Amino acid sequence: MSNENPIVLGGLVPGIPHPLLCPNKNAGWLALNNGFARARQAIIDSGADLLLLYSTMWPSVIGHQIQARPEPEWVHVDELFHGLGSIPYKFRIDAPFGEKFAKAAQARGLQARTVDYHGFPIDTGSVVALKLLNPDNRIPASIVSSNVYSDRAETLVLAKAARDAMEGRKVAVFNVMTLSNRLFTDWIHPDQDRIHSAKDEEWNQKLLQFLGEGRLEDVAQLSRTIQSSIRVHKVVNFKPMWFLSAVMGQDNNYAGTVHAYAPLYGTGAAVVTLVPGNGAVGLKEFDEDDVEVFSGDREVVANSAHAPLAPPAAETAPPAPAKAAPAPVASTGNVTVNTAKAPDPVGAYPHARRQGDLLFLSGVGPRQPGTNAIPGGPIRDSEGAALDYDIEAQTQAVIDNIRVILEASGSSLDKVIDVQAFLVDMDRDFKGYNKVYAATFEPIQATRTTIAIRALPTPIAVEFKVIAKA
């Protein structure tokens, strides 16, 4: 993390519309409305030039979405509390920041896109937060969705991408969320509002104590416990505190203020602000989820406890497989590429990996996909005794495998920039290798380095390492 903290203020606000639409019907809703006003003042005092919202009420499925319509305008009606009235709005969105954020997220291996469409349904929570925190569009805002499937690593990387995009900015970042989220499931009179259960109340108090003490990372670390204790499981996990802590710097050194806390139709609603301390340092233990780049291998079904089992066998049903097969997922467009058309890797590496415009291939030998047969024959038998082999056939097989991997990655042989070739017997093989190489690479004019080495991990004589344009 950079030492210059672009975040000047953090916080959380509830998204249920009562504090905006009918604050006077209940003392707690009014207290929340006043809490919003104090948070609004805190944003002004912080000197922030951008307000970033992470909304738990904006679910996304295809990665994360970031609002990028400069002036979205609509008359919003909540799908549940439509009887409270309509909310006309016109917001000022920082579209260039949204684009930057999306690009930064992509560069860190995430699926992300901006949305710039008239009539895009901005969620009630974001509408409430922007109306109350930034009523005159004093500073531009940005909104990011919450992916329903994402878990911790992905959320931390998203937060880091947000930071990447913040260079030179002063940002106030707020979560749109409740603490305990159990709503009443029947209509209540405003006077009857209370936190749904004593258990929820105890947890909310504990979290507010932590937040009041500025212990944001501690709350983030509690997210899984919070999910199991006081969250109705509408999504895979309770993520907003992961986002907030990671975007703010992953530490416990904040000046926290709880501006309001009240029940909102049974849920625990709080307005909290967190001002970063000076020289805050994270004191975390090793954390395997805390990665810099998301590896894009989230496999919702196969890795999930919810992986579907085959239905019970019956005369009418086709025979059930013994176990659920891993889900095939198209990998084009991913950061890493693996293809069944190239030989299986012999270690924990992908066939290729894209970084920016470049495609890096792992070392490619002549082995045939599926059979592992070596065209031109192996260089030794299973006992280690040397065999005669055809270097030209092996070299051609290497080039063919490279072609397949490049094409599976959306590239092609003519886009190869640089080749490193490894030969186990330079004296014997250089000539044959060089001849076959020229047949393909002469017109391509990639740079090349040929190195003699002692051995390769399988009984082959040649391997190429290639960098190509993606």
Partner 1 sequence: MPIIAGALAPHPPHLVYAENPPQNEPKAECGWETLRWGYERMRKDILALEPDAIVVLSPHWQTYIGTHFLAVPQLKSRSVDPVFPNLFRYNYEMQVDVDLARELESAAKDAGLVTALMENPDFRVDYGTIVSCHLLNPAWDIPIVGMSSCRNSAFYSIEVMQEQALALGKATREVLQASKKRVVLVSSNSLSHRHFVRESDIPEDMSKEHIMHHGQYLWDMRMIELMKQGKSREIVDMMPEFTTQAISETDAGAMTWMLSAMDFPTQPAEVYAYGSVIGTGNAVVSWLEPESKRKPLKEFADSLQWEQLGQKIKEGTQGGKFLEGLRNLVDSGGESTRSESRTESKKTPRTDNLPEGIKELFDKGLDKSLVKPVKAALRAGVPEKMLLAAIKRIPERDHSTARVAEVIELTVEAWQEYKA
Q: Summarize as ranges the residues that interact with partner 1 (CB under 8 A).
A: 58-63, 75-77, 79-80, 82-83, 85-86, 111, 113, 115, 117-121, 123, 147, 149, 182-187, 232-234, 265, 298, 300-302, 306-311, 314, 316-318, 320-321, 324-325, 327-330, 332-334
Q: How far is the CB of 85 from partner 1 (least distance, A)?
A: 7
Nearer to partner 1, 90 or 118 (CB): 118
Nearer to partner 1, 204 or 395 (CB): 204
Cα 20 from Cα 29, distance rounded (Å): 9
Nearer to partner 1, 296 or 369 (CB): 296
Nearer to partner 1, 84 or 417 (CB): 84
Q: How far is the CB of 299 from partner 1 (least distance, A)?
A: 9
Q: How far is the CB of 115 from partner 1 (least distance, A)?
A: 5
Q: What SS3 state is found at 430? A: helix
Nearer to partner 1, 314 or 385 (CB): 314
Nearer to partner 1, 62 or 426 (CB): 62
Q: How far is the CB of 91 from partner 1 (least distance, A)?
A: 16
Q: How far is the CB of 352 from partner 1 (least distance, A)?
A: 17
Cα 450 from Cα 423, distance rounded (Å): 7
Q: How far is the CB of 322 from partner 1 (least distance, A)?
A: 11
Q: How far is the CB of 57 from partner 1 (least distance, A)?
A: 11
Long-range contacts of 73-81 (CB under 8 A, 24+ apart): 74/119, 74/122, 76/122, 76/124, 76/127, 78/17, 78/124, 79/124, 81/16, 81/17, 81/18, 81/21, 81/124
447 - beta bridge partners?
418
Nearer to partner 1, 318 or 443 (CB): 318
Q: Is the dihedral of CA 239, 244, 247, 252 positive or negative?
A: negative
Residue linked to tokens 């907030």 = 244
Burial-class residue 459 by CB neighbours within 10 Å (0-12, 13-18, 19+).
buried
Strand residues in 223-297 grouped as ranges (E): 254-264, 267-276
Are 93 and 67 within 8 A, CB to CB?
yes
Q: How far is the CB of 15 from partner 1 (least distance, A)?
A: 13
Please give the C-alpha separations between residue 143 and each of 53, 104, 155, 172, in angstroms, as whole numbers.
Answer: 5, 15, 15, 12
Q: What SS3 state is found at 340? A: coil
Cα 417 from Cα 435, distance rounded (Å): 19
Q: How far is the CB of 274 from partner 1 (least distance, A)?
A: 29
Residue linked to tokens 């950061």 = 335
Strand residues in 408-461 grouped as ranges (E): 416-423, 447-452
Nearer to partner 1, 113 or 194 (CB): 113
Nearer to partner 1, 101 or 210 (CB): 101
Nearer to partner 1, 89 or 441 (CB): 89
Please give the C-alpha separations between residue 428 and each of 366, 388, 389, 432, 462, in angstroms, as whole numbers.
Answer: 18, 11, 11, 8, 12
- Residue 17: partners with Cβ closer than 8 Å, 6 or more residues away: 78, 81, 84, 87, 124, 127, 128
Q: How far is the CB of 456 from partner 1 (least distance, A)?
A: 34
Cα 183 from Cα 163, distance rounded (Å): 33
Tokens encoding 87: 């909310």
Nearer to partner 1, 157 or 171 (CB): 157
**CB crowding 257-295: b at 16 or more within 10 Å, else e:** bbbbbbbbbbbbbbbbbbbbeeebeeeeeeeeebbeebe
Tokens encoding 135: 């009523």
52 - beta bridge partners?
142, 173
Q: How far is the CB of 369 from partner 1 (least distance, A)?
A: 20
